[in-house]
Amino acid sequence: MVVAMVAASMASGLRIKAMAELCCYLTVVLCAFLVPCLAKLTTIEHPVKPNRSLSFLVVGDWGRKGFYNQSEVAFQMGRIGEKLKIDFVISTGDNFYDNGLTSVYDPAFRDSFTNIYTAKSLQKPWYSVLGNHDYRGNVEAQLNPTLRSVDKRWICMRSFVLKTELIDIFFVDTTPFVDKYFTDPEDHTYDWKGVEPRKNYLSSLIKDLKAEMRNSTALWKFAVGHHAIKSLGHHGDTAQLIKFLLPVLKDNNVDVYMNGHDHCLEHITSMNGAMQYLTSGGGSKAWRGDLKPDDDVNHSAKFLYDGQGFMSVEMNENEAMILFYDVEGLVLHQWKISKQLRSAV
């Protein structure tokens, strides 16, 4: 009897210990994927290939349940992803149209993501930021780690840093910067929980970005946001990003800024620096017919395409090769930057 009681007590103790360890593990996971620690941006580490190279795809403005050629773009992404043996995918936002997700149970998550990007090569982490359409839904649902139990690829946060041995990529929540969503939202309702008071949110974000970029020792630095800093597309330049974000990127020698928002593909070069502006917003609905090449008075645009498509990036310590593809997987534009020369070729 005594032995049995001792055994039962030990078993109970082991169960309690196991539960405690599980709770501790879950707390670590939630902290890693939900909230920055001590007001700093969350950092995710991703390994490079054995030969110290890296390759990834970039797509934006896609979530339309396969319509508007989303499925066709996804197919070509799978083909190119296999060819390049990609390490991950970057989404530049507007992940679910028209109004984000309603909850973690919203079937749009499967209908627009899981069931569309089915190629084996695309079964890699998807590092994603929010777009303005995502803010029209339940933002916390899209950020919730619960979605990873539905599709483990999904990693979405407001702002965070992806670190590898080659490159630090800074993901920036750009929607709260844009004044018109607050002053003239038209008929749309935005979910500003976690953002308001806006002034404090943006001030903290800029402070954290400055600190992370200043402390970065990475050979390459890229930044990702939904809204364009420079664009000749429908929406054009984003004045608030030029005022508040661009100086931070320039001061910290960021090589490339990548965005979506305009449903097109673009490469615009900096006229007073080395930074390049790349738009990859052709994941589904496009062909608006309102590109503004005549606004390019400084001839800074290297490439403009009013249609669906995506980008690929291949890089090592010495150079980065960037290619733009259309909906049929044809290469429309390619561009190489040498890190030694820090100039586009």
Q: Which residues are annotated as a binding site for Fe cation?
A: 61, 94, 97, 132, 226, 261, 263
Tell me, yes or no, if 235 is annotated catalytic: yes
Which residues are documented as binding site? Answer: 61, 94, 97, 132, 226, 261, 263
Comparing C-alpha atoms, which of 134, 238, 248 is closest to residue 191?
134
Rounded to 5°, angle at Cα 85 from 81 and 89: 50
| Per-residue tokens: 170 | 């800074």
Task: Name the residue type at position 200.
Answer: N
Task: Name the residue type at position 34.
Answer: L
Residue 113 CA: distances (Å) to CA of 126, 143, 282: 10, 15, 15
Comparing C-alpha atoms, which of 62, 56, 33 is closest to residue 222?
56
3-state secondary structure of 36: coil
Task: Name the residue type at position 263.
Answer: H
| Per-residue tokens: 208 | 């954290």
| Per-residue tokens: 320 | 């980065």
**Cα 108 from Cα 152, distance rounded (Å):** 16
**Options 46, 235, 267, 333, the catalytic residue:** 235
DSSP summary character for residue 317: S
Q: 256 forms bridges with which residues in the sheet?
A: 222, 276
Residues tagged active-site:
235
